[in-house]
């Protein structure tokens, strides 16, 4: 499944390169808000609370934007595309999930910058280290789970509490995939640096996550139809026959000069 996931994601990214770049440009503009808004506030008052509050506002704006983007890239993974009017309309339904994700990112920001350093500064080093370790590994598990949150919300239901629970269950049931995805996403971010975050960028990562969950859900459809099947031996070759036929294969010439075929 992993090999096909990488292949299909790359094909879909390439076929929708312009729209992916535009989505990334929009996020780049939003990401400037949490960077410059606190600095703007500092021109009027030197307040730590104001600084944190303005950072939180910027993070929430970015998260809502990504939530809307995740809703439209879904159509790409389903062999279709989207219009930018659909993207604008997506904000109407995307903002609750975006606010939840923004809150998570803000809490993660506080954990890294304030909470863990606070515990490590305890006079009792052993106690501080133990508490910091608990917080750290809890944050890692939350990070592994929350990477699926947007696409879980879209594909498995809009309820916030249910989406959070399902994200954690998917992570626990697919630990290998969860770690692979987080590593892949980090690699994609590093690769994005060389393309000024235009490709694959955040939109490309959202598409990849949606592709991964959509394909992984085939496993649960199979287990539901075959309750006696071994969960550790999923017949992916059989489950992906239709997907492979629809995706097809391409040569380097197909990518560069598709009109010549």
Rounded CA-CA distance 194/112 in Å is 26
* Cβ neighbour number for residue 87 with a 10 Å cutoff: 20
| Helix-helix angle 2-15:48-77, to 10 degrees | 100
**What tens-digit pLDDT sequence spans the chain (261 residues)?**
888 999 999 999 998 999 999 999 999 999 888 777 777 766 677 777 778 888 888 889 999 999 999 999 999 999 998 998 999 999 999 999 999 999 999 999 889 888 999 988 887 788 889 999 999 999 999 999 999 999 999 998 778 889 999 999 999 999 999 999 999 999 999 999 898 888 999 999 999 999 999 999 999 999 999 989 888 899 999 999 999 999 888 776 676 656 555
Rounded CA-CA distance 186/147 in Å is 12
Whether the CB-CB separation of 238 and 226 falls below 8 Å is answered with: no
CA diameter of the chain: 70
* The model's pTM: 0.90
* Cβ neighbour number for residue 143 with a 10 Å cutoff: 15
Domain that holds residue 10: 2-260
The dihedral through the CA atoms of 215, 22, 246, 94 has a sign that is: positive
Q: What's the domain count of the chain?
A: 1
């Amino acid at each position: 499944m992993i090999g096909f996931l990488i292949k299909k994601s790359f094909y879909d990214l390439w076929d929708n390169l312009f729209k992916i770049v535009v989505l990334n440009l929009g996020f780049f503009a939003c990401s400037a808000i949490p960077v410059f808004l606190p600095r703007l506030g500092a021109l009027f008052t030197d307040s730590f609370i104001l600084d944190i509050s303005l950072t939180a506002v910027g993070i929430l704006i970015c998260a809502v934007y990504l939530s809307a983007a995740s809703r439209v890239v879904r159509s790409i993974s389903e062999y279709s595309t989207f219009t930018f009017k659909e993207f604008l309309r997506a904000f109407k339904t995307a903002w609750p999930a975006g606010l939840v994700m923004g809150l998570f990112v803000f809490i993660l920001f506080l954990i890294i910058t304030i909470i863990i350093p606070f515990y490590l500064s305890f006079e009792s080093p052993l106690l501080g280290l133990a508490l910091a370790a608990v917080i750290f590994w809890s944050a890692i598990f939350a990070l592994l789970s929350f990477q699926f949150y947007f696409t879980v919300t879209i594909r498995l239901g809009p309820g916030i509490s249910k989406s959070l629970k399902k994200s954690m269950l998917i992570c626990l049931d697919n630990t290998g995939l969860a770690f692979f995805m987080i590593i892949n996403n980090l690699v994609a971010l590093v690769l994005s640096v060389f393309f000024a975050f235009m490709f694959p960028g955040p939109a490309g990562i959202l598409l990849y996550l949606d592709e991964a969950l959509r394909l992984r859900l085939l496993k649960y459809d199979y287990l539901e139809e075959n309750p006696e099947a071994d969960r550790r031996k999923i017949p992916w070759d059989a489950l992906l026959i239709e997907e492979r036929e629809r995706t097809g294969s391409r040569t380097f010439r197909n990518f560069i000069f598709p009109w010549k075929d």
